[in-house]
């Protein structure tokens, strides 16, 4: 038995249908966490890259953010470190798990990956780190480059050990891509943002279906909920998975106009909703299961190796798995 360590992943994803409010709610949640003084890494992994703007960056500044997707070889080289099972960056794919010799990432540290790929964003005096996959072009959709962009995020998540009270918040597409790669299993808590519409809840059903076999903690956050009828609809469709609902926010609207008010004057009902999200995420702390986390990583790696990775790289990627490696144990070794 490995002793329990004071480290815990607090990785949180916001997913949902296009336009449901993923970016808006991610950004509000990030602001909320920052206002409590928690260290936060914000990651924009959505097709529509709007998180920077939602965190108050000017469009031109947001457009200049360094793209993870454009720095893959560098990230791979850093993470593989001296891991003898990973011969080169070329043979490291998005699901390649860390092993003996790999470098891990921590939320609070400075490291070359953050230097190259993260930017500090100031939110009412508190700062968070922002990383973005980079914009997806028409050509990306469907094929390899698209995977490689979110792949950079998956790789970082698989190498990240974050401490109690530290948060990684990812604004993400609920597409089939995240199911093929295993990305959807990398979170301690997944908030599915749903408007009270049939389309909104159909994305929930699909997600739930994939999530079931992997023990993914999934909660629905109703957005743009206007009254009892909306609430009844969501409750009837998603039952106990409905965690909380958010109504129309004038604060958000003001922000959209380029006039972000101070966060502390966000409507009290919406602030309460954000506290509920944090409480739900924090409650997963004790449920942390590093062994399962590592096992799932390996599961998806083997699957990806067999379905395309071995062929693409010409290497035996299954041999990259370090059977004695537990993400948790390596923390003891290097912390």
Ligand X SMILES: Nc1ncnc2c1ncn2[C@@H]1O[C@H](COP(=O)(O)OP(=O)(O)OP(=O)(O)O)[C@@H](O)[C@H]1O
**223 in helix, strand or coil?**
strand
The residue among 23 and 96 lying less far from Mg ion, judged by its C-beta, is 23
Question: Of the candidates 7, 12, 13, 23, which one interacts with ligand X according to CB under 6 A?
Answer: 23
The residue among 52 and 97 lying less far from ligand X, judged by its C-beta, is 52
Number of residue whose CB is nearest Mg ion = 23
CB of 93 to Mg ion, least distance (A): 26
Stretch 27-46 residues interacting with ligand X (CB under 6 A): 46
CB of 23 to Mg ion, least distance (A): 3
**19 in helix, strand or coil?**
coil
Q: Out of Mg ion, ligand X, none, which partner does residue 154 contact, by CB within 5 to 8 A per kind? A: none
Q: Cα-flanking dihedrals φ and ψ of residue 7, to 5°?
A: -105, 145
Contact 108, 163 (CB under 8 A): yes
CB of 176 to Mg ion, least distance (A): 18
Q: Rounded to 10 degrees, what is the CA torsion of 291, 13, 147, 206?
A: 90
CB of 200 to ligand X, least distance (A): 10
Is 256 a binding residue for ligand X by CB under 6 A? The answer is yes
**Listed ranges 12-20, 141-149, 184-192, 296-304: which one lies at the site for ligand X (CB under 6 A):** 12-20
The total number of residues shown for the chain amounts to: 335
Question: Of the candidates 246, 305, 317, 331, which one interacts with ligand X according to CB under 6 A?
Answer: 246
DSSP string covering 99-131? -TT---B-SSS--HHHHHHEEEEEETTEEEEEE
Question: Of the candidates 19, 66, 135, 163, which one interacts with ligand X according to CB under 6 A?
Answer: 19
Give the Cα separation of 213 and 303 in Å (integer): 15
Is 16 a binding residue for ligand X by CB under 6 A? The answer is yes
**Listed ranges 46-54, 56-64, 296-304, 324-332: which one lies at the site for Mg ion (CB under 5 A):** 46-54
Which residue(s) pair with 121 in the sheet? 128
319 closest CA partner among 147, 91, 94: 91
Question: Of the candidates 9, 21, 56, 102, which one interacts with ligand X according to CB under 6 A?
Answer: 21
Instruction: Give the number of other CB atoms < 10 A from CB of residue 191.
Output: 26
The residue among 21 and 99 lying less far from ligand X, judged by its C-beta, is 21
Question: Of the candidates 93, 172, 252, 305, which one interacts with ligand X according to CB under 6 A?
Answer: 252
Q: Out of ligand X, Mg ion, none, which partner does residue 16 contact, by CB within 5 to 8 A per kind? A: ligand X
| Exposed/middle/buried for residue 241 (C-beta within 10 Å: 0-12, 13-18, 19+) | middle
Range list of β-strands (E), the chain: 11-16, 40-45, 118-123, 126-132, 167-172, 189-194, 218-223, 242-246
Stretch 48-107 residues interacting with Mg ion (CB under 5 A): 48, 50
14 closest CA partner among 193, 196, 280, 151: 193
Question: Of the candidates 20, 83, 185, 278, which one interacts with ligand X according to CB under 6 A?
Answer: 20
Stretch 220-239 residues interacting with ligand X (CB under 6 A): 223-224
Please give the DSSP secondary-structure letter assigned to residue 74. Answer: H
Question: Of the candidates 10, 12, 20, 46, which one interacts with Mg ion according to CB under 5 A?
Answer: 46
Interface residues with Mg ion (CB under 5 A) are 22-23, 46, 48, 50
Interface residues with ligand X (CB under 6 A) are 16, 18-24, 46, 48, 50, 223-224, 246, 248-249, 252-253, 256
């Amino acid at each position: 038995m490995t002793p329990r360590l004071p480290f815990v992943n607090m990785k949180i994803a916001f997913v949902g249908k296009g336009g449901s409010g993923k970016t808006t709610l991610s950004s509000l949640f990030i602001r909320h966490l920052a206002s409590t003084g928690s260290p936060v890494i914000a990651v924009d992994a959505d097709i529509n890259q709007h998180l920077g703007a939602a965190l108050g960056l000017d469009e031109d500044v947001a457009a200049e953010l360094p793209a993870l997707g454009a720095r893959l070889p560098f990230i791979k080289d850093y993470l593989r470190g001296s891991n003898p099972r990973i011969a080169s960056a070329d043979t490291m794919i998005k699901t390649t798990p860390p092993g003996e010799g790999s470098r891990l990432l921590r939320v609070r540290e400075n490291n070359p990956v953050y230097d190259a790929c993260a930017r500090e964003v100031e939110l009412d005096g508190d700062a968070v780190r922002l990383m973005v996959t980079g914009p997806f072009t028409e050509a990306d959709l469907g094929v390899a480059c698209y995977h490689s962009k979110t792949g950079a995020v998956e790789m970082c998540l698989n190498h990240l050990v974050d401490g109690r009270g530290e948060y990684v918040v990812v604004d993400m597409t609920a597409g089939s891509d995240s199911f093929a790669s295993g990305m959807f299993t990398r979170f301690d808590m997944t908030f599915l943002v749903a408007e009270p519409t049939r389309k909104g809840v159909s994305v929930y059903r699909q997600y739930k279906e994939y999530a079931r076999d992997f023990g993914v903690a999934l909660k629905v956050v109703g957005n743009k909920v206007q009254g009892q009828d909306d609430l009844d609809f969501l409750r009837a469709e998603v039952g106990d998975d409905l965690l909380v609902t958010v109504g129309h926010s004038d604060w958000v609207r003001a922000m959209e106009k380029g006039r972000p008010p101070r966060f502390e004057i966000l409507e009290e009902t919406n602030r309460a909703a954000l506290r509920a999200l944090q409480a739900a995420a924090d409650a997963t702390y004790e449920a942390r299961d590093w062994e399962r986390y590592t096992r799932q990583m390996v599961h998806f790696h083997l699957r990806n190796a067999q379905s395309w990775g071995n062929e693409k790289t010409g290497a035996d990627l299954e041999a990259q798995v370090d059977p004695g490696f537990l993400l948790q144990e390596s923390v003891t070794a290097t912390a």
